[in-house]
Amino acid sequence: MQIEVISSVNEARADRFTHRTAIVIDVLRASSTMVAALEAGAPGIFPVETVLEARALQRPGHLLAGERFCRKIPGFDLGNSPDDFTPDNLRNRHVVLTTTNGTRAVHKAMRADNILAGALTNASACARAAAELRRDIVLLCAGNHDDFALEDGLCAGLLIEHLQNYCSSAVETDDFGTAMLGLYKNSSNRVADTIAGASTGKRLTKMGFGRDVQRCSQVDISSVVPRLQGDMIVNV
Protein backbone atom coordinates (compact mmCIF):
# COMPACT_ATOMS: atom_id res chain seq x y z
CA MET A 1 0.00 0.00 0.00
CA GLN A 2 1.24 3.45 -0.97
CA ILE A 3 0.73 6.43 1.34
CA GLU A 4 1.17 9.96 0.07
CA VAL A 5 1.08 12.99 2.37
CA ILE A 6 0.00 16.43 1.15
CA SER A 7 1.30 19.24 3.34
CA SER A 8 -1.57 21.74 3.02
CA VAL A 9 -4.88 22.22 1.29
CA ASN A 10 -3.18 24.57 -1.18
CA GLU A 11 -1.02 21.71 -2.45
CA ALA A 12 -4.00 19.43 -3.09
CA ARG A 13 -4.66 18.80 -6.78
CA ALA A 14 -7.83 16.86 -7.59
CA ASP A 15 -6.04 14.17 -9.65
CA ARG A 16 -3.94 13.07 -6.66
CA PHE A 17 -7.04 11.53 -5.06
CA THR A 18 -8.34 9.34 -7.89
CA HIS A 19 -8.82 5.66 -6.91
CA ARG A 20 -7.55 6.37 -3.40
CA THR A 21 -8.79 6.71 0.14
CA ALA A 22 -8.31 10.26 1.41
CA ILE A 23 -7.89 11.06 5.08
CA VAL A 24 -8.46 14.75 5.73
CA ILE A 25 -6.53 15.95 8.78
CA ASP A 26 -7.27 19.24 10.54
CA VAL A 27 -6.29 18.60 14.14
CA LEU A 28 -6.95 22.25 15.15
CA ARG A 29 -9.80 21.93 14.86
CA ALA A 30 -12.17 20.82 12.09
CA SER A 31 -11.48 17.08 11.97
CA SER A 32 -11.34 16.88 15.79
CA THR A 33 -14.68 18.72 15.86
CA MET A 34 -16.22 16.27 13.38
CA VAL A 35 -15.17 13.38 15.63
CA ALA A 36 -16.63 15.18 18.66
CA ALA A 37 -19.92 15.99 16.89
CA LEU A 38 -20.52 12.40 15.78
CA GLU A 39 -19.40 11.09 19.18
CA ALA A 40 -21.98 13.38 20.81
CA GLY A 41 -24.73 11.90 18.66
CA ALA A 42 -25.07 14.06 15.54
CA PRO A 43 -26.57 11.74 12.89
CA GLY A 44 -24.57 13.52 10.18
CA ILE A 45 -22.51 16.57 9.25
CA PHE A 46 -22.81 18.47 5.98
CA PRO A 47 -19.36 19.95 5.24
CA VAL A 48 -19.63 23.10 3.16
CA GLU A 49 -17.10 25.63 1.93
CA THR A 50 -18.85 28.96 2.41
CA VAL A 51 -21.08 30.67 4.93
CA LEU A 52 -23.66 31.35 2.20
CA GLU A 53 -23.79 27.65 1.26
CA ALA A 54 -24.20 26.75 4.93
CA ARG A 55 -27.17 29.07 5.34
CA ALA A 56 -28.73 27.83 2.08
CA LEU A 57 -28.39 24.18 3.10
CA GLN A 58 -29.88 24.62 6.56
CA ARG A 59 -33.22 22.83 7.03
CA PRO A 60 -35.52 23.00 10.06
CA GLY A 61 -33.80 21.24 12.94
CA HIS A 62 -30.29 21.49 11.44
CA LEU A 63 -27.61 23.24 13.48
CA LEU A 64 -25.31 25.74 11.77
CA ALA A 65 -21.73 25.47 13.00
CA GLY A 66 -18.30 26.71 12.08
CA GLU A 67 -15.79 29.49 12.25
CA ARG A 68 -14.14 32.32 10.43
CA PHE A 69 -10.90 33.67 11.89
CA CYS A 70 -11.37 30.88 14.50
CA ARG A 71 -14.49 32.55 15.94
CA LYS A 72 -18.13 31.44 15.77
CA ILE A 73 -19.85 32.91 12.72
CA PRO A 74 -22.50 35.54 13.64
CA GLY A 75 -25.96 33.97 13.71
CA PHE A 76 -24.63 30.40 13.80
CA ASP A 77 -25.63 28.02 16.58
CA LEU A 78 -22.18 26.64 17.34
CA GLY A 79 -18.54 27.50 16.68
CA ASN A 80 -15.72 25.09 15.87
CA SER A 81 -14.83 24.03 19.42
CA PRO A 82 -15.20 20.28 19.99
CA ASP A 83 -16.61 21.15 23.42
CA ASP A 84 -19.55 22.95 21.74
CA PHE A 85 -20.78 19.59 20.44
CA THR A 86 -22.42 18.06 23.49
CA PRO A 87 -25.37 15.65 23.42
CA ASP A 88 -27.41 18.46 25.02
CA ASN A 89 -26.54 20.96 22.28
CA LEU A 90 -27.06 18.49 19.47
CA ARG A 91 -30.21 16.68 20.59
CA ASN A 92 -29.82 14.31 17.64
CA ARG A 93 -29.73 17.13 15.09
CA HIS A 94 -27.78 17.24 11.84
CA VAL A 95 -24.96 19.79 11.62
CA VAL A 96 -24.06 22.03 8.69
CA LEU A 97 -20.36 22.85 9.18
CA THR A 98 -18.15 25.38 7.45
CA THR A 99 -14.55 26.07 8.52
CA THR A 100 -11.70 27.96 6.89
CA ASN A 101 -9.52 24.98 5.94
CA GLY A 102 -11.04 21.72 7.15
CA THR A 103 -14.28 21.64 5.20
CA ARG A 104 -12.45 23.13 2.18
CA ALA A 105 -10.03 20.19 2.39
CA VAL A 106 -12.94 17.71 2.32
CA HIS A 107 -14.12 19.29 -0.95
CA LYS A 108 -10.61 19.23 -2.43
CA ALA A 109 -10.53 15.46 -1.87
CA MET A 110 -13.86 14.81 -3.64
CA ARG A 111 -12.33 12.63 -6.37
CA ALA A 112 -11.19 10.05 -3.81
CA ASP A 113 -13.01 6.72 -3.62
CA ASN A 114 -13.44 7.23 0.12
CA ILE A 115 -13.01 10.30 2.32
CA LEU A 116 -12.39 9.92 6.06
CA ALA A 117 -11.60 12.57 8.68
CA GLY A 118 -8.55 11.87 10.81
CA ALA A 119 -7.53 13.54 14.04
CA LEU A 120 -5.25 12.63 16.91
CA THR A 121 -8.37 11.78 18.91
CA ASN A 122 -9.44 9.00 16.51
CA ALA A 123 -6.13 8.11 14.82
CA SER A 124 -6.14 4.40 15.57
CA ALA A 125 -9.78 3.84 14.57
CA CYS A 126 -9.34 5.95 11.44
CA ALA A 127 -6.19 4.08 10.33
CA ARG A 128 -7.91 0.75 10.89
CA ALA A 129 -10.93 1.83 8.82
CA ALA A 130 -8.66 3.13 6.04
CA ALA A 131 -6.60 -0.09 5.99
CA GLU A 132 -9.81 -2.12 5.62
CA LEU A 133 -10.74 -0.14 2.50
CA ARG A 134 -7.65 -1.59 0.73
CA ARG A 135 -6.81 1.40 -1.42
CA ASP A 136 -3.69 3.52 -1.63
CA ILE A 137 -4.05 6.40 0.80
CA VAL A 138 -3.61 10.16 0.59
CA LEU A 139 -3.24 11.99 3.87
CA LEU A 140 -4.34 15.57 3.27
CA CYS A 141 -3.06 17.91 5.98
CA ALA A 142 -5.43 20.88 5.88
CA GLY A 143 -2.88 23.27 7.39
CA ASN A 144 -3.49 26.83 8.38
CA HIS A 145 -3.49 30.05 6.37
CA ASP A 146 -2.60 27.90 3.34
CA ASP A 147 0.61 26.71 5.05
CA PHE A 148 1.69 23.46 6.65
CA ALA A 149 0.61 23.09 10.31
CA LEU A 150 2.77 21.01 12.65
CA GLU A 151 -0.15 19.36 14.45
CA ASP A 152 -1.50 17.99 11.15
CA GLY A 153 1.95 16.62 10.31
CA LEU A 154 2.17 14.92 13.72
CA CYS A 155 -1.21 13.32 13.11
CA ALA A 156 -0.11 12.17 9.64
CA GLY A 157 2.95 10.54 11.25
CA LEU A 158 0.80 8.77 13.84
CA LEU A 159 -1.62 7.56 11.15
CA ILE A 160 1.30 6.15 9.14
CA GLU A 161 2.59 4.35 12.24
CA HIS A 162 -0.86 2.82 12.82
CA LEU A 163 -1.27 1.95 9.13
CA GLN A 164 2.04 0.07 9.21
CA ASN A 165 0.50 -2.10 11.93
CA TYR A 166 -2.93 -2.55 10.37
CA CYS A 167 -2.15 -3.09 6.68
CA SER A 168 -1.73 -6.65 5.54
CA SER A 169 0.54 -5.59 2.63
CA ALA A 170 3.81 -3.62 2.92
CA VAL A 171 3.34 0.12 3.47
CA GLU A 172 5.41 2.57 1.46
CA THR A 173 5.29 6.30 1.93
CA ASP A 174 6.67 9.33 0.11
CA ASP A 175 9.52 11.46 1.51
CA PHE A 176 7.19 13.89 3.26
CA GLY A 177 5.39 10.95 4.88
CA THR A 178 8.72 9.53 6.07
CA ALA A 179 9.56 12.92 7.56
CA MET A 180 6.18 13.11 9.34
CA LEU A 181 6.61 9.60 10.74
CA GLY A 182 10.00 10.69 12.12
CA LEU A 183 8.45 13.85 13.53
CA TYR A 184 5.78 11.84 15.30
CA LYS A 185 8.26 9.27 16.67
CA ASN A 186 10.44 12.08 18.02
CA SER A 187 7.52 13.83 19.72
CA SER A 188 5.28 10.94 20.74
CA ASN A 189 5.96 11.42 24.45
CA ARG A 190 5.19 15.17 24.32
CA VAL A 191 2.46 15.54 21.72
CA ALA A 192 0.37 18.03 23.71
CA ASP A 193 3.35 20.29 24.52
CA THR A 194 4.57 20.19 20.91
CA ILE A 195 1.15 21.25 19.64
CA ALA A 196 0.71 23.92 22.32
CA GLY A 197 4.08 25.40 21.29
CA ALA A 198 3.37 25.39 17.53
CA SER A 199 1.88 28.37 15.74
CA THR A 200 -1.81 27.32 15.54
CA GLY A 201 -1.77 26.10 19.13
CA LYS A 202 -0.28 29.38 20.32
CA ARG A 203 -2.74 31.45 18.30
CA LEU A 204 -5.80 29.53 19.50
CA THR A 205 -4.59 29.68 23.10
CA LYS A 206 -4.09 33.45 22.83
CA MET A 207 -7.67 33.73 21.55
CA GLY A 208 -9.01 31.85 24.58
CA PHE A 209 -9.29 28.38 23.00
CA GLY A 210 -6.54 26.71 25.06
CA ARG A 211 -9.00 24.06 26.24
CA ASP A 212 -9.61 23.08 22.58
CA VAL A 213 -5.87 22.77 21.96
CA GLN A 214 -5.59 20.37 24.91
CA ARG A 215 -8.63 18.34 23.93
CA CYS A 216 -7.56 18.02 20.28
CA SER A 217 -4.07 16.86 21.40
CA GLN A 218 -5.40 13.73 23.10
CA VAL A 219 -4.42 10.59 21.21
CA ASP A 220 -6.81 7.74 20.41
CA ILE A 221 -9.62 8.66 22.78
CA SER A 222 -12.42 8.01 20.28
CA SER A 223 -13.45 5.17 18.02
CA VAL A 224 -15.56 7.43 15.79
CA VAL A 225 -14.50 7.51 12.12
CA PRO A 226 -16.16 10.33 10.17
CA ARG A 227 -16.70 9.26 6.56
CA LEU A 228 -18.29 11.12 3.69
CA GLN A 229 -21.33 9.39 2.24
CA GLY A 230 -22.93 11.41 -0.51
CA ASP A 231 -22.82 14.96 0.79
CA MET A 232 -22.97 14.02 4.46
CA ILE A 233 -20.29 12.87 6.91
CA VAL A 234 -21.40 9.98 9.12
CA ASN A 235 -19.73 7.65 11.59
CA VAL A 236 -18.69 4.40 9.90
Binding site residues, ligand MLT, CB under 6 A = 26, 28-30, 67, 70, 80, 99-102
Nearer to ligand MLT, 10 or 178 (CB): 10
- Partners of residue 23 on adjacent β-strands: 116, 139
- Partners of residue 45 on adjacent β-strands: 95, 233
CB of 200 to ligand MLT, least distance (A): 7
DSSP-based three-state secondary structure for 50:
coil
CB of 182 to ligand MLT, least distance (A): 25
Nearer to ligand MLT, 182 or 208 (CB): 208
CA distances from 108 to 8, 11, 101, 180, 224 (A): 11, 10, 10, 21, 22
CB of 70 to ligand MLT, least distance (A): 4
CB of 71 to ligand MLT, least distance (A): 8
CB of 166 to ligand MLT, least distance (A): 27
Nearer to ligand MLT, 163 or 213 (CB): 213
CB of 194 to ligand MLT, least distance (A): 17
Q: Sheet containing 2-6: which strands, arranged edge to edge? A: 71-72, 63-68, 95-98, 45-47, 232-235, 226-229, 114-118, 21-25, 137-141, 2-6, 172-173
The string of DSSP codes covering 54-88 is: HHHH--TTPEEEEEETTEEPTT-SB-S-GGG--HH
Nearer to ligand MLT, 105 or 131 (CB): 105
- Going 69 to 73 to 74 to 78, the CA torsion angle's sign is negative
CB of 168 to ligand MLT, least distance (A): 33
Nearer to ligand MLT, 97 or 163 (CB): 97
Residues 112, 125: Cα–Cα separation, whole Å: 19
**Helix, strand, coil in percent for the chain, rounding step 5:** 45, 20, 35
Nearer to ligand MLT, 1 or 213 (CB): 213
Q: 182's torsion region: left (phi>0), alpha (psi -120 to 50) or beta?
A: alpha
Residue 180 CA, chain-centre distance (Å), reads 16
Nearer to ligand MLT, 70 or 129 (CB): 70
